[in-house]
Amino acid sequence: MKQESVLVVGSIAFDDLEMPHGTYEGVLGGAATYSALAASVLGPVQIVGVVGDDFPDAHLDLLRSRKVDTTGVERVTGKTFRWRGRYSEDLASRTTLDTQLNVFANFRPKIPESYRKTPYVLLGNIHPALQLEVVDQIEHPRFVAADTMNFWISGEPVTLAALLKKVDLLIINDEEARELTGIQNLCKAAADIRRRGPTQLIVKRGEHGALLFDPHGTFFVPAYPLEEVNDPTGAGDSFAGGLMGYLARNHSAAGSPHTMRRAMFYAAAMGSFCVEKVGPARIEELTLQQLGRRLDDFRALVDFGGTLTLSAAEA
């Protein structure tokens, strides 16, 4: 069966990470980078983003070696987007120390001709007006997913509302869901968001898993419990990439109520690999076999034998 491609649009960056176990300067980062590398474990990926003239060819070579088409990576004069953050001792929270948008400040995503029929589109967290421009450049996308953040929720509500009418799936965290709706209860907030456009909503809760709200009901996937967590950077973007990669790989089963639920496990598995090493190091070396084994472990984590009858005698 022909494998469908995933188009990923978003930031490509250098991250300076101040972790309890050390400081790591100039690590390859950015939402699009993490999502593309994660999705590419499952199938072909196309990436759209911008880098400066300081961006090493080796990073682009890495992406290409992982089946990521980099035709859409624009290189312009100036410096690449750079983010510096400090993590708390338990890695549960982080503080942004510095954001240098650099060439990303004037980013206007241009979708190459060869990407314009790509059916699965992941809009990383950029200005909703740019996300809209991307959607308009794709011919009949089959499935559009978007991330956003508090900055756009409070600053660009009208444009964000227009975007929501064009996306099938919104992927945000619980605080963003509450801020977007002004509703504290997640179930009610989710219903409110789904009335605004996206028929499907994923609410990420970091180390506490993620919830899917779609026409088939509510579904929950836990975060995979790990013995070693080294760097949460990019886990949410890897989650989104894993999800889209699985959906594209299984496009023929898109109508099944279980397809998106299974995709949630692939998403969470990808997030769990991402945090094992600093930067995207674990994702960029991940094999399909390793992913399959993590899925087996994941299945065991939630296996209760299928039935929940009142007594074994009734089973």
Residues 38-77 close enough to bind a second copy by CB under 8 A: 42
- How far is Cα of residue 277 from the mean position of the Cα atoms in its chain? 17
Q: Is 209 in the site for a second copy (CB under 8 A)?
A: yes
258 binds a second copy (CB under 8 A): yes
Q: Should residue 219 be labelled a site residue for a second copy when binding is judged by CB under 8 A?
A: yes
- Stretch of 9-17, 121-129, 141-149, 293-301 lying at the interface with a second copy (CB under 8 A): 293-301
For position 293 contacting a second copy by CB under 8 A, the verdict is no
The one segment of 47-55, 60-68, 124-132, 204-212 that binds a second copy by CB under 8 A: 204-212
Strands 200-204, 210-214: pairing kind:
antiparallel
Indicate which single residue of 115, 120, 152, 265 sits in contact with a second copy (rule: CB under 8 A).
265
How far is the C-alpha of 288 from the C-alpha of 248, rounded, in Å? 15
Under the binding rule (CB under 8 A), the answer on residue 288 touching a second copy is yes
- Which helix or strand (DSSP H or E) is residue 200 part of? strand 200-204
DSSP for 71-108 reads EEEEE-SSPPEEEEEEE-TTSS-EEEEEEE-GGGGG--
The structure tokens listed for 311 are 């007594």
Identity at 247, one-letter amino acid code: L
> Does 253 interact with a second copy (rule: CB under 8 A)?
yes
Contact 126, 11 (CB under 8 A): yes
C-alpha–C-alpha distance, residues 103 and 121, integer Å: 23
Check binding of 188 to a second copy (CB under 8 A): yes
- 239 is an interface residue for a second copy by CB under 8 A: no
Q: Could you say whether residue 299 binds a second copy (CB under 8 A)? A: yes
Cβ burial, residue 260 (10 Å; 0-12/13-18/19+): buried
Query: d(Cα 265, Cα 263) in Å, to the nearest integer?
Result: 5
In the complex, minimum distance from the CB of residue 289 to a second copy, in angstroms, rounded to a whole number: 10
Count of residues touching a second copy (by CB under 8 A): 54
Q: Which is nearer to a second copy, 14 or 246 (CB)?
A: 246
Q: Is 195 in the site for a second copy (CB under 8 A)?
A: no
Q: For residue 237, what are its two tokens? A: 């973007």
Name the residues that contact a second copy, by CB under 8 A.
Answer: 1, 42, 90, 184-188, 205, 208-209, 211, 217-220, 222, 225-229, 249-250, 252-253, 256, 258-259, 261-262, 264-266, 288, 291-292, 295-296, 298-308, 310-313
